Amino acid sequence: MTKTVLNRLVVLVCVMLMGLAAKAQTAQYLIVTLQDETKTLFALAEKPVVTLTDGIFKAESSSQVIEVALADVLNYTFSDQAPYTDIDQVKTDATKPVIEAGNAHFENLNPGTVVNIFTVDGRRVGSAIANATGTVDISFKGMASGVYILATPTASYKIYNR
């Protein structure tokens, strides 16, 4: 893709985002959906920045970053509700966490990967970032009992905190 075409694409996306934001004044979230149907949620209150550079789509806020090939992006939408309200949407993958004694331990993540913690009604209640070795430890101590969703950029996991 030539630099001119890429620049035009970036301008077009920016114009579309501004138009959608104007129409969606009640929107609270930017939701990026990948081809594998995983979703990454950005709170508009965190003022996420979307960029396209050399065929790479990047969305970044103060709490998380997603950086993927543009071809891997299925769509992005604005919503006034978080999409994590249906337990049937939960997926699994090879980075499945080990859960024991009120803790969730992830391995084999890319360094810098954000793992978000959502309630079943879609509220983000926390997050953690994978360290340089690709591990994340999340403690549920002090959190209310109930069901939580741990969401990585590639999968989501339903966790019950007792």
pLDDT at 55: 86
Q: What is the pTM of this model?
A: 0.44
40-45 CB contacts, 8 Å cutoff, 24+ apart = 40/64, 40/66, 40/151, 40/153, 41/82, 41/83, 41/84, 41/116, 41/118, 41/122, 41/124, 41/151, 43/124, 44/78
Domains in the chain: ranges and CATH: 3-79 (2.30.30), 87-161 (2.60.40.10)
d(CA 126, CA 63): 9
In the structure encoding, which two tokens stand for residue 56, read together? 């790479």
pLDDT tens track, the chain, 162 positions:
566 766 676 666 655 666 555 554 567 888 888 887 778 888 888 889 999 888 888 888 888 888 888 888 888 888 876 655 444 444 445 568 888 888 899 988 888 889 999 988 888 899 999 999 989 999 988 889 889 999 888 888 888 887
State the Cα torsion 117-119-121-125 to the nearest 10°.
-60
pLDDT at 61: 85
pLDDT at 137: 92
pLDDT at 13: 65
pLDDT at 21: 53
pLDDT at 90: 45
The closest alpha carbon to 115, from 99, 140, 135, belongs to 135
pLDDT at 91: 45
